[in-house]
Chain A
Amino acid sequence: MIDVENLNVTFKSGNALMHAVRDVSFFVEEGETFGIVGESGSGKSSVLRAIAGLIESTHSKLSINGKPTSARQARENSRLMQMVFQDPYGSLHPRHTVDSILREALIIHSIDNQDKCILKAIADVGLGVEHRYRYPHQLSGGQRQRVAIARALILSPPILLLDEPTSALDVSVQAEILNLLGRLRESYSLTNILVSHDLAVVAHLCSRIAVMQFGRIVEVISAEDLRRGKTKEAYTAELIFASRGFSRVS
């Protein structure tokens, strides 16, 4: 469904060129949840942003359902894929109510039955009608992330891109959001790409996981092999070892 070949992203910093993503290629099947893990600066978020068209990139292929993304109009693109960001405080407009945050996309895309759509979206992410006219600051972090997910899903896109969706949340709230994402994946038949620094989170939701370091994909590993520690590359093994907690030996 999502086909990426030789994706490169560079940033200019002063006179120097920063090569954030180097020759990244992967394919995501329809209905699959594909994970990307890596430490800060590994380029994992840049890959996601390049797919969403938020940053410029060069590539030999970047297509969705066989159609290159560059050929799409912005409006068409937003019905195809939506993104959920790490920080629910920063990604919702502070002076808009939940209702107007959700309604905006419906107005742009001239969709009828807006009230019905909004109520369905609110219910789908586990919020109540009482949250409909609240402002983001009147909601908890977990509720805000639910609103961000509802906003992403209100156009029913087949693809949902998740950039560290639970990193700013407490572990109990994270569990609720991860369960929600798992359920929505079924009910909306979503294809997901999940980016996270947390191996346990990625292994929980994803079937296949790309491990990134210094802008490159080091290896693509199945969640099963990740749990068993069956890695091909030393860096992946190091990452798994470090994620299992502190060790006094070595």
Chain B
Amino acid sequence: MSEILLDVQDLNVSFPSQRGTTKAVRNASFTLGRERLGIVGESGSGKSTMGRAILGLTPSPGIVTAKKITFNGENLLGRSEADWQLLRGRRMTMVMQDPKYSLNPVMKIGHQIGETCRLNLGVTGQEAQRRSLAMLDAVKIRDPDRVYNLYPHELSGGMGQRAMIAMMLVAEPDLLIADEPTSALDVTVQNEVLRILDALVRDRGMGLIFISHNLTVVSSFCDRILVMYGGKILEECKAKELHHAKHPYTQALIAAAPSLYERRAELATVVRNPEWLK
């Protein structure tokens, strides 16, 4: 991690409602280089909300405040929608969990990828098509010419996920936020998708934020891990050293997962402590 791509200091996201304000992210600070950073946590821990806030995608009425969020040295706070358009899709982007809901169902795969090229790279026609086909090939889709002309419902889950990754990566962004990109996939397909993301970080020097609830995947795939609970980053550690985690919550999460290596009579249950959020 030589240079800092993304610098987040004291990020807070809250959602006001009639019954009071929900703090979804609390004072989160971290930096990202050209590396794979994993964010783990259970549902409601604020990991997805944090990813969206970085891309300026917090839904109304959410309020985002931070001391500092910079991307390649550029300030991301208080940007107008027009300003965001220059960044999002082109230099920073996001892959979601489910291709069924994230691809346009009435638009052919090739055209969706081509649209990204036209809007963000300013290329048209044959050049957009050439790049789309090359990208489909890069995400290891066996028959790009055929898939180019298919609609999303004609693809399997793994193929749809790869098509979506192709669509996000065709503009060659510097930062990719992947929100549970492999959770809906079979394990053998999951590893293929991870290999594609891995190659992109290695070969293109992309920065990757990998959001997942799966500790096995994150600890084997990422370089560093942030553990989130109740909107707070409880612990940061090297992925390989996750099993020596210090925070009781991280230790409890590891102990609660059934193991493929050893027999456990009872699984440990997670005891939560409100003190952690102070």
Contact = CB atoms under 8 A, between A and B. Distances in A.
B253 A172 contact: yes
B107 interface: no
Given A179-B267, A242-B190, A170 B213 contact: yes
Interface residues of A, number: 31
Interface residues of B, number: 35
Contact of B269 (A172, A199, A248): A172
20 contacts: A40-B157, A171-B42, A174-B257, A175-B269, A178-B267, A179-B266, A179-B267, A199-B260, A200-B260, A203-B258, A204-B258, A204-B263, A204-B264, A227-B263, A239-B187, A244-B216, A244-B220, A246-B198, A247-B191, A248-B198
Nearest to A178: B267
B261 A227 contact: yes
Interface string B219-240: 1110000000000000000000
Which secondary structure dominates chain A's binding surface?
helix
Interface in B11-48: 42-43
Interface in A194-229: 197-201, 203-204, 223, 226-227
A245 B266 contact: no
B59 to A, nearest CB: 22
B64 interface: no
A226 B261 CA distance: 9
B188 A242 contact: yes
A201 B42 contact: no
Nearest to B264: A204
Given A39-B187, A172-B42, A245 B220 contact: yes
Contact of A238 (B157, B188, B190): B188
Nearest to B216: A245
A243 B257 CA distance: 13
A158 interface: no
Contacts of A172: 42, 252-253, 256, 269-270
A197 B266 CA distance: 21
B83 interface: no
B268 interface: yes
Interface of A: 39-40, 170-172, 174-176, 178-179, 182, 197-201, 203-204, 223, 226-227, 238-240, 242-248
B1 interface: no
Given A245-B219, A248-B198, A204 B188 contact: no
Given A39-B188, A172-B270, A238-B188, A227 B262 contact: yes
B13 to A, nearest CB: 21
A239 B188 contact: yes
CB-based closest 6 A-B pairs: A245-B220, A204-B258, A175-B267, A172-B270, A175-B256, A39-B186
Contacts of B257: 171, 174-175, 200
A175 B217 contact: no
Nearest to A238: B188
A197 B188 CA distance: 11
A51 to B, nearest CB: 23
A31 to B, nearest CB: 17
A93 to B, nearest CB: 24
B191 A242 contact: yes
A227 to B, nearest CB: 6
A69 to B, nearest CB: 30
A178 B213 CA distance: 18
A200 B258 contact: yes
Contact of B221 (A197, A239, A244, A246): A246
A179 B264 contact: no
A65 B196 CA distance: 50
